[in-house]
Every structure is written in structure tokens, then in C-alpha cells.
Amino acid sequence: MIAELGHFALILALAVACVQGVIPMLGAQLGRLSWMRFADQSAILQFVLVGVSFACLTHAYVTSDFSVVNVVQNSHSAKPMLYKVSGVWGNHEGSMLLWVLILAVFGCAVAMFGRYLPPALKARALAIQALIAVGFYLFILLTSNPFQRMFPPAADGQDLNPLLQDPGLAFHPPMLYLGYVGFSMAFSFAIAALIEGRVDAAWARWVRPWTLAAWCFLTGGIALGSWWAYYELGWGGFWFWDPVENASFMPWLIGTALLHSCVVVEKRDTMKAWTIFLAIVAFSFSLLGTFLVRSGVLTSVHAFATDPERGVFILVLLLIVIGGSFALYAWRAPQLKSTGLFQPISREGALLLNNLLMGTAAGVVLLGTLYPLFIDAISDGQDKISVGAPFFNAVFIPLMTPMVAAMAIGPLLAWKRGDLTRALKTLWIAFVVAFALAIATWSWQSGQSPWGIVGVAIGAWLATGTLIELSERIRLFRIPFSQSLRRLISLPRASWGMTLAHFGLALAVFGVTGAGAWKVESVQTMRPGETVTVSGYDFRFDGAQEKQGPNYLTTEARFTVSRDGDVVTQLFPEKRVYTVRQMPTTEAGIYTMLSGDLYAVVGDSKSDGSYVTRIYFNPLVAWMWIGALTMVMGGVLSLSDRRFRIGAPRRAAAPAGAQPAE
Amino acid sequence: MKRKHKRLSFVLVALVLLGGAAALVLNAFEENIVFFQSPSDIASGKVGDDRRFRLGGLVEDGSVDRSGGETVMFRVTDTANTVNVSYTGILPDLFREGQGVVAEGRIVNGVFVADEVLAKHDENYMPPEVADAIKKSGQWQGSSN
Amino acid sequence: MNRLFYILPLLAFLVIGGYLAIGLTLDPQKLPSMLEGEPVPAFALEALKGRDDKGFANTDLKGEVSLVNVFGSWCVACRVEHPFLMKIKENGWVPIHGIDWREPNREAGPGWLKRHGDPYTLVGDDPKSKAAIAFGVTGAPETFVVDKQGTIRYKHVGPIDEKVWTETLKPLIDHLRGQGG
């Protein structure tokens, strides 16, 4: 009964969304307030209905209801409770249900916190949200019903894919989806603004916190996903330029650009058509990501459900949503008038440069991701190619290097007309630090990839530059220290957010550089008692033993790692076999230090009792996640700024005496 | 600067960026694109010795030889032709005989030396590249006993 | 000129959308099998444990129109189609032979058939993918229609259901029987 209730609630939600897509839109067109108000109630109702539906599926998982096909395919009675719950979205059908749930949460939030929004804008935006939801409800109900029953019920389930039975991956999809779907807010408001033909500071002030929230979730989600790949796949890497990873990275790049261009719209009343364009593109990439993962058009480690029929459905959805918005854009965007003028060398100019570089980077990633498809299509299936990490590294790093370099300068330029020479003079310390570190790196690792040196240099440049910008703000050493401290404390949180986020990126640059340029790998067969030395650490293989886990058998190896005779740690890499699916997985043994990770993987055993082992030293890799976390913290801090809080009164004046935030 | 000129300078910057990106992309494509080949393509001499490519097919039954320490030898077949492959390292969890596999590397003295081996990740699914290679090979008789 | 600028995104997207559409049609599951019209490749599989048939070989496929179904106890989609296979068996529409593909052990296949019913006339055990490779099986379930001469006439990828049966398989089987082939 519960599953049927969930199904029914979803059908009702579809009906509500259909009405919500039409009535408020008409109301806004005709100026009928009661029709516009309808959107608020229906958005809340939609949320309740989808919530019920999601709760029903969760119930089926938690109680192991094996008459529901979806539960049979992805759960097992012996599975730990955490993974019974995360199994709800660890599969195609359930993850789509999570998608619409999050969409409904955002819609509901607009209805509840959007008191101060102009009623017509709100009504239109909610109507657009509802129309997107209609597409996805139909998709779920017609091609991917999670509530389908089977008769007779199965005795037990097929278990969740063991790779997905992991705490990191349990929360990765919801975070990612919060990010993806979060961009639907910017999108809906962009379309509403296009219909109205008006974009102003109030619009930007409303869109920005939503975009920022989505950006925080997406950043967190991507970081979590790459962390998972790092410790679960056993390859010692954290980013593979896999199509699905790219699918989450492209919206991130565009979302970052959008975040920055919203600032310009808000403060300077310019770059409007461009910002609207970015808002559409950011959400389009989210949809494209869904398409790439769900359709099986591109093969990937991640594509756990691929089905051409679903692909056709999503492609049609994509054509309607993205094609429709770009058509609307082509028609209405030329009418958006900007008032703020600015010189090329100015804060606006710097932010535009950021936007262009981010956009180009996203375009390049898109090209690399879809290129195999193009080749396949033009050669009529005769030529198959793959575009892997070497391509992306060769293209992406040269694009990001100037961007990171410019990131240190941009915040030091004034709005409207900046002084580049003065900004560069202010940054002299950063230049010295970067240069000194580059020389040090060069002398230490001469002959290796030059990108290691470049990475260290621009990381140091950005980190120091960000600190210099902060000290400029508080006029450090130019006014008495106590006054500087007072300024520091009273800095608006949004400016703290920027400083943290930029600094976090600098840390992440160090991490990526270290692990990318100086990773040491060693593969060998080892007998118990043998020792191998990697990067100055002695790894002694102590042997392996079989153990029984809750739903798997495991061979657990033990390494004792020492340096100069002192024991540093013990590592316990495992090779597990999940009994239900008979599927083996690798669990790396990892010890994290600020200088780098010790990383051991155990492979097959041989008849003579030896094992193939793979040992890595991944320098600085922890900095990447520390950096990502710092970026998210920066975003959250900025989000908590009073002036940008969701639902802040329209046209609220900035608090007197505050510094410009960005 | 006049408004028009300013606009022009932005467009110019954008064009320079796009041009630079395009150059980068073309250059990287030139060097880093990896073609996918089947054992039959190799048998027909279509593939040069110096180029990296991806080899797809099925791991031939009984062909996996782990006697060489950390270097594993096996044969990849598309049922018509077979290629000897060597790989140093730990094979992916899902690597099994009779299974679809994709290996990346180059041919050295008639042996395909792989530096990356990817196995099938889901039981109900084979990489389309592999499926396609097997279809393309045409010859179906002579099963691999 | 200015207008054109704003239309560019739409055009770019349409190009990408076109390629995505082509990409979908190139889906490998939609390609016809090279085996269609070819005789069944030679194979000989051992019988499944606990069944009294002698095994399953290509020579068993001559004499009448039949289906060859590739399944496995690990395959979820196989379970979805299983009730329909049982229905075919109960109504005696056409004999179905099974290839039990890549079982983790010798008990898994028989146990599965015991639980869900056994629709097969002959079943071969194929843990090492011998027959599966010969047939060019890319996944499970897959079903082949074989005519009286032992020639493969059609390959269906994915579960069989009422729709597939009435629209594709049954007309084909009737046709093959009608022409005495």
C-alpha cells in the first residue's frame, strides 16, 4: 500500500505542477494578484506531495519491501541501515525522485521566503519551476517508476552496487543535486526576467544567494565525489576527467562565473544580458549532465543506469527547456539596457575576464567530453576515440593559470576605472613570494614537469595576493594596529567570504599541483616481511588475513610504514568481495599528512603467498580537500551576510560605512 | 575611450581568448586523442607501432598468465583475431576471463603493452566500444575453446 | 549584427543537440547482430546441475523453431522477464533453451530456476562465457530466435515482455513456421 501511496502522491504532484505552470503565468500577464498568489500555495503543496512520495520509497527501503522492483535491485536485508537509506538515491529511479524533491524544496523556499519579491516576478519564476518539474515528473512516471511492484516478491534483494556502499558516496549525490537543481532558481528567475524584459539590482540581490547556495553544495558535492574516487577506486588519483565528472564540473565553472557577474549587475547595473545568459547556461549544463549520465550516450564508470529510451525523453526535454530559453533569449535579451559604464581596467573588467575564462574553460571541457560523440557521428560509428586526462590537462591548465593570476589582481581594482599599475605595486610581496617559491621548487625538482613550478608559483601568488588584499582593506600597518583589528572584525561577512574562497582555491591549487606533478608510484610483488621504500618511507608488508564483514568477505593486508626506523603508521588496505553480487572492490589504506598521503593497495595473491601491491606517495593531496572546504566555508559565510540573506527586504540600503563587499 | 571602442576592446579580448583556446584544443587533440581499435584492426595492419591506442575485446578464456610477478600477460580477442597484452600493476577488480576489457597503451615488438586496463563495471552492461568491436569483427564461428 | 550575437547560443545549442540525437541512435544495443542469417556457432555446454538433460549444444537447435535465452541468477532484468518466459512455456507457444551465463558457482543457476520456475527445454551451464562469446552476447538477458535449420533469425536485447512477444517475436516465429523454415 505504501508504495502505491508514493506513486499516487507523485501523480498528484504532476497535476499540481501542471496547474502551477499555467495559472500564475497567466495571472502575471493579466495582472491578477489572486492568480499569482496561487503559485505560493501550489509550490508548498507540491513539496508536501513529493515529500510524501520520497518518504514512501524510503520506507520501502528501510523495511526491505522486496515486492518493489527498485528495492530488490538495489537493496538487501543484510545491508547496513545507512546504505539502505542511501540506496534510495543510489539508483536511477530513486535519484530522479531525489532530483524532483530538491526542485520542490527550492520552489517551496521561494514561496515561503519570497515575501518581498515583486509578485509578478515571483509568480513567473514559480511557474517556470513548475514547468521544469512537469518534465521530470513525466520522465519518472513514464520511464523510471521507482514504485513498480513485482509478483511474486523476491526472497531477498540484489544489494546495492558495492562501490556505492560508502559513507562518502552516500551523501555525494544529494549534495551534487542540491547544486544542480539550485541553479534552477537562477534559471527560473532569468526566464521570468526575460519575459518581463527587466533586470535590476533587486533581481540580482535575490538571485545571488540562491546561486551562492547552489555553488556551495556543488563545490562540496564535487569535492566529496573526488575524495570518494580517491580512496575507493584504488588508483591513487582523485580526478579522472570522466564524462560524469565533467558533467558536474561544467555547471560549477559556469556557476562560478554567474556568481561573479551577479555582483556586477547588483552593484553596477550592467552586464545584464550576459548574466541572464550565464544563468541559462548554468542550468542547461545541469540538465546536460543529467542527460549524459542517464542516457548512456557516453560510457563512464558512473553510469549505473543507461537506457536509450530514457535518453530520448531527456533529449526532448533538453531541446524544449534549453532550446526554448535560448530562443526567448535571442528575442528578448537585446532589450535589456545597461546603465553602468566602465573601463576595461576596472573591477567590472576583471570580473568579466573571470567570466570569459570560466566560460571558455567550460566550453573546452564540453568539447572534450562530447568530441568522441562527434567523431562517432561523423564517421558513422566507424571511428571510436577517447579523450582522456592528457587532453584536459593540456587545455585546462593553461586556461586556468592566467585566471588564477588575475584573481589576485581583480579585487584590488576599483569599480568603473581601476589602476593596474598601483594594484601590481601593492602586490609586490606576492610577486616576491611566488618567485622565491618557484626558484626553490625548480632547484628541488629540476628536470621534471614545468607545471609543478607554475602551480606552486601561482598558488603562492594567489594566497599571498588574497592576504594582501585583506590587509589593504583593514589598512594594516598604515593605521594603528588596534584600529586595523577593529576594521578586521567589522568587515562584512561577504568580503570575508570572498577572501576565504579565494584563499581556499590557492590551497587547492597547491594540492592539485603536488598530487599531479610529484606523485610517486611503485608496483611490485611482495611476500610477507618484505619492505619497499617509496619517497623515503619504508613500507613493510606484514601479511594478509581473511575477515568477514557485514555483507562481504575481505582480505585485509597490513603494512607497517616507517621513516628512518621510526614507525609512522600502519595501513590496512583490503580487497573485498561482496557476497550477494559476487563483486570485488578495493579499499585503499591511506594515512594522511599535510606533506602528503601514504597510500597502499593490495592486489591478487599468488600461489607462493606473495601479493601484488601498489604503493603511492601523493604529495600535498590533503590540501585539495582543505582548500575545497575553505571555499565552501567562504560561500556559507558570505551567504550569512545580513545584506544578502534570503528574503532580505527589497532595495535594502547597504549598512552605512561598510566596505564594498567584493 | 568611447563606448564603442570599449565594447570593441572587450570583444577583442574575448576573441583572443577564444582563439587561444581553439589553438590549445586543436594542439591537444592532435597529441592526445586515443583511437579505439579491435584485435582485427591490428591483425589487418591498420595500426602503426608508434601510436597509443585503446584495445577492446574479451579476455580470452584461460589466457591470463600471472607467473611474471607484477606483470600479467593475457590475450584479448574479438572472436576473430587475438592480441597478446602485457600489463604491469594491479588489474581492476572486475577483470575476469571471458569479460569485456579495454586496455590503453601501444604495441612493442608485437605485444600490446598496456599502461591502463579498464574492466566492465556492471554485470548487465558491456562498454559499447567492446560490443562494437566484436560486432565489427564479423567472424563468429571458431569460438574460443 | 547585434541581434545575431544573441541568436548564437541557440544555434550552438541546436548543433550540440543534433549530435546528441545522433549519439542516441548510435546506441550499440540498437545495432543489428552480425549473426542474423548465420548458422548458430558451434558450442557444447554441460548440463546444469540437477537437470537430467545431457547438456546443450548447437546441434540441438535443428528441427524446430526455438528461442535461445541467455540468463543468469545475478541478472535482475532476467527476473523481470522470467514470468513471461514461464507463460510461454505454460502455453506451449515455442520451446525455449537457456544459456546460464557466468554463474558464481554451480548451485546458483539451479537454485534460481527452482525458486522462479524453469521455462527451459534444455539448459547449458556457461560459467566461462564459451557459448556467450560465440553468440556475441553483450549483456543479459538476450534472446535469439533460431529457425528449423539452426540459423539465427533475430536477436533481442533486454527483457522479453508481452509487447515484444506480440509485436516482434510471435509474428517472426509464425512466419518461420509458415515457410517451413
Give pLDDT tens digits for C109-134.
Answer: 898 888 888 999 999 998 877 787 77
Q: Per-residue pLDDT averaged across A630-634, rounded? A: 96
CA distance A293 to chain C (A): 13
Within-domain flag for A178: no
DSSP A414: P
pLDDT given at position C115: 84
> Cβ contact (<8 Å) for A584 and B29?
no
Please give the grid coordinates belonging to residue A640: 550569512
Q: Are both A100 and A7 inside the same structural domain?
A: yes
Contact in structure between B31 and B114 (CB atoms under 8 Å): no
> Cβ contact (<8 Å) for B89 and A523?
yes
Contact in structure between B63 and B87 (CB atoms under 8 Å): no
Contact in structure between C16 and A318 (CB atoms under 8 Å): no
Q: Per-residue pLDDT averaged across A322-340, rounded? A: 89
Which range of A607-616, B124-133, C90-99 scores highest in mean pLDDT? It is C90-99
3-state helix, strand, coil in chain B (%, to 5): 30, 30, 40
Does B1 score more than 60 pLDDT? no
Three-class secondary structure of residue A386 per DSSP: strand
| 3-state SS, one letter per residue, for C4-67 | HHHHHHHHHHHHHHHHHHHHHHCCHHHCCCCCCCCECCCCEEEECCCCCCCCEEHHHHCCCCEE
Residue whose C-alpha is closest to residue A602's, from A536, A659, A533, A528: A528
Q: CB-based contact (8 Å) between A384 and chain C? A: no
Q: CB-based contact (8 Å) between A333 and chain C? A: yes
Q: Per-residue pLDDT averaged across C8-29, rounded? A: 76
Does B139 score more than 70 pLDDT? no
Q: Which residue has the higher pLDDT, A125 or A302?
A: A125
Domain boundaries along the sequence of chain B: 1-33, 35-136
What type of residue sits at position A323? G
- Residue A399 neighbours by CB distance under 10 Å: 20
Please report the DSSP string for A467-490 in residue order: HHHHHHHTTTTTS-HHHHHHHHHT
> Cβ contact (<8 Å) for B28 and A394?
yes
Q: Are both A486 and A524 inside the same structural domain?
A: no
ipTM: 0.78
Residues 277-296 of A with CB under 8 A from C: 277, 280-281, 284, 291, 295-296
- The tally of domains found in chain A comes to 4
> Cβ contact (<8 Å) for A326 and C3?
no
pLDDT given at position C35: 63
Within-domain flag for A176: no
Three-class secondary structure of residue A290 per DSSP: helix
Please give the grid coordinates belonging to residue C166: 506480440
Q: CB-based contact (8 Å) between A312 and chain C? A: yes
pLDDT given at position A220: 95
Three-class secondary structure of residue B144 per DSSP: coil
Q: Which residue has the higher pLDDT, B78 or C25?
A: B78
Instruction: Say how far residue A35 (Cα) sits from the centre of its chain.
Output: 36
Q: CB-based contact (8 Å) between A341 and chain B? A: yes
pLDDT given at position A616: 93
Contacts of B69 in chain A (CB under 8 A): 524-525, 612
Residues 116-175 of C with CB under 8 A from A: none
Contacts of C13 in chain A (CB under 8 A): 284, 322-323, 326
Bridge partners of A387, per DSSP, are: B33
Does A7 score more than 90 pLDDT? yes
Q: Per-residue pLDDT averaged across A537-557, rounded? A: 91
Percentage with pLDDT > 90 across chain A = 50
Nearest-CA residue of chain A relative to B9?
Answer: A344
The CATH number of the structural domain formed by C33-178 is: 3.40.30.10
- Chains in touch with C (3+ beta-carbon pairs under 8 Å) read A, B
Question: Each residue of B57-87: pLDDT tens digit?
Answer: 888 878 888 877 778 899 988 767 889 999 9
pLDDT given at position A305: 36
Q: Per-residue pLDDT averaged across A417-431, rounded? A: 89
Residue whose C-alpha is closest to residue C157's, from C170, C146, C143: C143
Instruction: Please tell me the distance from the alpha carbon of residue A575 to that of residue A547, in angstroms, as a whole number.
Output: 10
DSSP B60: P
- Chains in touch with B (3+ beta-carbon pairs under 8 Å) read A, C
Please give the grid coordinates belonging to residue A369: 567530453
pLDDT given at position A278: 95
CA distance A523 to chain B (A): 6
Of B14, B32, B90, the CB nearest to A601: B90
Does A87 score more than 60 pLDDT? yes
Does C54 score more than 90 pLDDT? no
Q: CB-based contact (8 Å) between B138 and chain C? A: yes
Of B99, B135, B145, the CB nearest to C34: B135
> Cβ contact (<8 Å) for B21 and A363?
yes
Contact in structure between C89 and C64 (CB atoms under 8 Å): no
Bridge partners of A520, per DSSP, are: A617
Query: Which residue reads 552516500 in cell numbers?
Result: A170
What type of residue sits at position A577? V
Contact in structure between B78 and B39 (CB atoms under 8 Å): yes
Within-domain flag for A651: no
Our CA dihedral for A604, A606, A610, A611, rounded to 10 degrees, sits at -10
Q: CB-based contact (8 Å) between A604 and chain B? A: yes
Instruction: Please tell me the distance from the alpha carbon of residue A186 to that of residue B58, in angstroms, as a whole number.
Output: 47
Instruction: Please tell me the distance from the alpha carbon of residue A445 to that of residue A518, in angstroms, as a whole number.
Output: 9
- A629 band by pLDDT with thresholds 50, 70 and 90: very high
Instruction: Please tell me the distance from the alpha carbon of residue A298 to that of residue B129, in angstroms, as a whole number.
Output: 10
What type of residue sits at position C158? G
Query: Which residue reads 599571498 in cell numbers?
Result: A464
Residues 62-121 of B with CB under 8 A from C: 77, 79, 97-99
Percentage with pLDDT > 70 across chain B = 72
Superfamily of structural domain B35-136: Nucleic acid-binding proteins (2.40.50.140)
- Residue A59 neighbours by CB distance under 10 Å: 15
Three-class secondary structure of residue A509 per DSSP: helix
Residue whose C-alpha is closest to residue B90's, from A243, A233, A547: A233
Instruction: Please tell me the distance from the alpha carbon of residue A315 to that of residue C157, in angstroms, as a whole number.
Output: 22
pLDDT given at position B2: 55
pLDDT given at position A487: 86
pLDDT given at position A136: 94
Within-domain flag for A656: no
Question: Each residue of B83-100: pLDDT tens digit?
Answer: 999 998 778 776 777 777
What type of residue sits at position C88? I
> Cβ contact (<8 Å) for C29 and A69?
no
Query: Which residue reads 539596457 in cell numbers?
Result: A337
What type of residue sits at position A161? N
User: Which of the residue ranges A275-279, A416-420, B61-65, C34-38 would you say has the lowest mean pLDDT?
Assistant: C34-38
User: Which of the residue ranges A146-150, A162-166, A614-618 would you say has the lowest mean pLDDT?
Assistant: A162-166
Of B123, B131, B144, the CB nearest to C28: B131
Which range of A12-21, A608-617, C56-65 scores highest in mean pLDDT? It is A12-21
Q: Are both A310 and A399 inside the same structural domain?
A: yes
Question: Each residue of A184-218: pLDDT tens digit?
Answer: 999 999 999 999 988 888 888 889 999 999 999 99
Contacts of A603 in chain B (CB under 8 A): 89-91
> Cβ contact (<8 Å) for C26 and A311?
no
Query: Which residue reads 606473495 in cell numbers?
Result: A610
Helix (H) or strand (E) holding A558: strand A552-563
Q: Which residue has the higher pLDDT, C41 or A283?
A: A283
Nearest-CA residue of chain A relative to C17?
Answer: A319
> Cβ contact (<8 Å) for A603 and B91?
yes
Q: CB-based contact (8 Å) between C84 and chain A? A: no
Contacts of A386 in chain B (CB under 8 A): 33-34, 36, 54, 104
- B123 band by pLDDT with thresholds 50, 70 and 90: very low
- Residue A270 neighbours by CB distance under 10 Å: 19
Within-domain flag for A578: yes
Does A468 score more than 90 pLDDT? yes
Instruction: Please tell me the distance from the alpha carbon of residue A561 to that of residue A603, in angstroms, as a whole number.
Output: 18
Query: Which residue reads 526566464 in cell numbers?
Result: A191
Q: Are both A307 and A420 inside the same structural domain?
A: no
Does A383 score more than 80 pLDDT? no
- Chains in touch with A (3+ beta-carbon pairs under 8 Å) read B, C
Q: Are both A17 and A149 inside the same structural domain?
A: yes
Does A657 score more than 60 pLDDT? no
- A259 band by pLDDT with thresholds 50, 70 and 90: very high
Q: CB-based contact (8 Å) between A524 and chain B? A: yes
Contact in structure between A147 and A7 (CB atoms under 8 Å): yes
Of A284, A326, A373, the CB nearest to C19: A373
Residues 571-590 of A with CB under 8 A from C: 581-582
Q: CA A165, A169, A173 angle in degrees (round to 5)?
A: 125
CA distance C126 to chain A (A): 17
Q: Per-residue pLDDT averaged across B124-132, rounded? A: 40
Peptide bond into A251 cis (omega under 30): no
pLDDT given at position C131: 82
CA distance C139 to chain B (A): 5
Domain that holds residue A541: 520-621
Residues 343-402 of A with CB under 8 A from B: 343-344, 352-353, 356-357, 360, 363-364, 367-368, 371, 381, 383-388, 390-391, 394-395, 398-399
**Total residues belonging to chain A:** 662
Three-class secondary structure of residue B50 per DSSP: coil
Within-domain flag for A201: yes
Instruction: Please tell me the distance from the alpha carbon of residue A188 to that of residue A190, in angstroms, as a whole number.
Output: 5
Does C26 score more than 70 pLDDT? no
Mutate to test the interface with A, among C24, C105, C113 (most CBs of A within 10 A): C24
pLDDT given at position A581: 67
pLDDT given at position A372: 80
Q: Are both A505 and A638 inside the same structural domain?
A: yes
Mutate to test the interface with B, among C43, C79, C129 (most CBs of B within 10 A): C129
User: Which of the residue ranges A197-201, A340-344, C95-99 would you say has the lowest mean pLDDT?
Assistant: A340-344
CA distance A129 to chain B (A): 33
- Residue A556 neighbours by CB distance under 10 Å: 18
Instruction: Please tell me the distance from the alpha carbon of residue B88 to that of residue B74, in angstroms, as a whole number.
Output: 11
> Cβ contact (<8 Å) for A394 and B34?
no
> Cβ contact (<8 Å) for B28 and A395?
yes
Contacts of C74 in chain B (CB under 8 A): 123
> Cβ contact (<8 Å) for B124 and C75?
yes
pLDDT given at position A206: 87
> Cβ contact (<8 Å) for A387 and B3?
no
Instruction: Please tell me the distance from the alpha carbon of residue A95 to that of residue A179, in angstroms, as a whole number.
Output: 14
Contact in structure between A218 and A248 (CB atoms under 8 Å): yes
Three-class secondary structure of residue B58 per DSSP: strand
DSSP A352: H
pLDDT given at position A296: 55
Of C35, C75, C131, the CB nearest to B123: C75
**In whole numbers, what is the pLDDT of chain B averaged over residues?**
72
pLDDT given at position A13: 97
pLDDT given at position C43: 87
**In whole numbers, what is the pLDDT of chain A averaged over residues?**
87
Domain boundaries along the sequence of chain C: 33-178
Contact in structure between A565 and A550 (CB atoms under 8 Å): no
Does A607 score more than 80 pLDDT? no
Q: Per-residue pLDDT averaged across A593-606, rounded? A: 89
> Cβ contact (<8 Å) for B90 and A603?
yes
Instruction: Please tell me the distance from the alpha carbon of residue A127 to that of residue A422, in angstroms, as a whole number.
Output: 49
- A301 band by pLDDT with thresholds 50, 70 and 90: very low
Instruction: Please tell me the distance from the alpha carbon of residue A456 to that of residue A447, in angstroms, as a whole number.
Output: 16
Residue whose C-alpha is closest to residue C36's, from C130, C133, C156: C156
pLDDT given at position C73: 80
Does A101 score more than 90 pLDDT? yes
> Cβ contact (<8 Å) for C9 and A329?
yes
